[in-house]
Structure 1
Amino acid sequence: MLRRETAASPERAAAALAGLRRYQEAPRRARRARPVRYRSGAARLRDGVRGSDAPPVVLVPSLINPPFVLDLAPGHSLVAHLAAAGFHPWLLDWGTPRAQDAGLDLAGHVTRRLLPLLARLDRPPLLVGYCLGGTLALAAAAALPAGRVAGVATIATPWHFAGYGEATRAALADFWARVAPGCRALGVVPMEVLQTAFWQLDPARTIAKYAAFATMPADAAARFVQLEDWANGGAPLTYAAGADLFETLFAADRTGRGDWQAGAATVAPLSLRCPTIEFVSLTDRIVPAATAIGLPDRHDVDAGHVGMMVGSRAETLLWDPLIAWLRTIHA
């Protein structure tokens, strides 16, 4: 990708390689994860405020990349912000799939991982799903009886995968056809494979950000490393979940067409029997606004996929409007 994108500019190639070397050699600090309270298979529910009896809010991250983007650092943590606002945040950690999990598809992550964890809570939670986590949070709400979920908020969540456009979907289908046999043999879709797919969405930007990092000031560079470690890290997907992502969602758009099921329930967000809202980024390259669900209650955010969650304006653009909506349910 580097050779293709910088073929006409050796200087740009050199800058990107210098940025990559700086990233590889940057110092890191060990992260301290929130304590685990409940487990279901490989998945874990981490407690954001030990011993709190405040209204529970379960944060459902994407299966892709680690969950700590929702609890990144002091001042950049939705978990901490929710706790300060009087809620009891729980952070779902999907964990690392085991050999016996190879057949666990996206719906299986809902019915066999998320729902058993929600059942451990002593009152109906509010679900807040980020990226693909929002897709799965909607499926969980659809699979549960009325009254078992207090509400669902989705953030930068794809639903109408046709909104990615035919060219992108065709490129991803071709990519999946090439990597699927190896992934099937492994039983998982490694993060390196998924990252390669994401780079294809905007390869020029990938090169540009590493070229810029080569000369970035130290304070901004530390933040860059923190976010890139998140973007480049994480457990693999089970093979079945990866196949679902590329075949059921990107290729067939079964969510957008209204025929995707979680267990026995067809997931139809507009017919959920609980309050819902979607937060849609207007500048998102990973989840374009054209893929949004179309809920009646929609809040547009003028920040990108990651910036809306942990950027310098995240509190104003996303966190506070989210908390204001949560308070309409638990005043």
Structure 2
Amino acid sequence: MRIPRDDASRLEWLLFEQSTVLTWAQAMAVLPPGRVRHLLGSGRWHRVCRGILRAAPGGPYTREQQWWVAVLAAGDGAVLAGLAAARAGGLRGAWRYDAVDVLVPHQRRAADLLRRLPLGLPPVRVRRVRHLSAADRQWGRPGRTRMARSLVDAAGWAGTDDEAQAILAAGCQQRRVTPTELGAALDRLPRARRRLLIRQTLHDVAGGAEALSEIDLMRLCRRHGLPVPDGQERRRDADGRQRYLDAYWRRWRLHVEVDGAHHMDVRHWAADLRRQNRVWIEGDRILRFTAFDVRHRPAEVVAQLRAALTAAGWRP
């Protein structure tokens, strides 16, 4: 939708700010009742559910429209939360969790209309909260929780522990939040789900692991009595750009790369080979594992890590 001109009407600005979704009360405040009924009857607007309208013909809902339907249908004081709020703040990634979470004041009950949303809209989960501090609230349209609080909540509400860790790691890897900010948000939530897991994950991320596979590698080392890597090592490539090594043992000059799905791309693969050659030329040992191996073939990974470290001079 185009940005309205300075002389645009209240309705144009409202529809722009709320992605064409509005409540019946908002529509009545800027248009006569007869005009609203005509727009609905002609098909130019349509009802989403009781009290919620969309100023657009029928069709798929955009993600922003889904968020606005959830927040407006949940009523006064509702804010986006969890993964939806993190996405609204710029978090990227494909996640299996597709519900839209909203927080409402504790004294409120879930609006009945949220149980009767039409097909094409994801489920809305209303979660009551006694207090949402200013440190956890992000002012905007729609209102949402700040990135740190959003990710801590999303990790607690995720379907699995792995998904919870991946969400936290993605937020830090994409520079949307720092481990310190996440830790502060967790401190404000003494009853948060997966509290211990989140704390351990933040410890690993702060140590330099910024992907779930790297976190798995660090924990594998601890479990089998191997020295823990120093985390991501900064290096400059041949073009002068700063790169990060996944895991590096400085004392033994051992470098480990954990390859995810993106390494299957031919362009990434060729660039990785050049980087690997440069590491070898500079005198480091290098091992490469797939993320699948780290998680599902840990014995083989540990055996090769132990052999490489021993060959470099490490003694248990």
TM-score bracket, shorter-length normalisation: under 0.3
State TM-score, norm by structure 2.
0.25
State TM-score, norm by structure 1.
0.24
Mark the structure with the bigger radius of gyration: 2
Which structure ranks higher in relative contact order (CA pairs < 8 Å, sequence separation ≥ 6)? 1
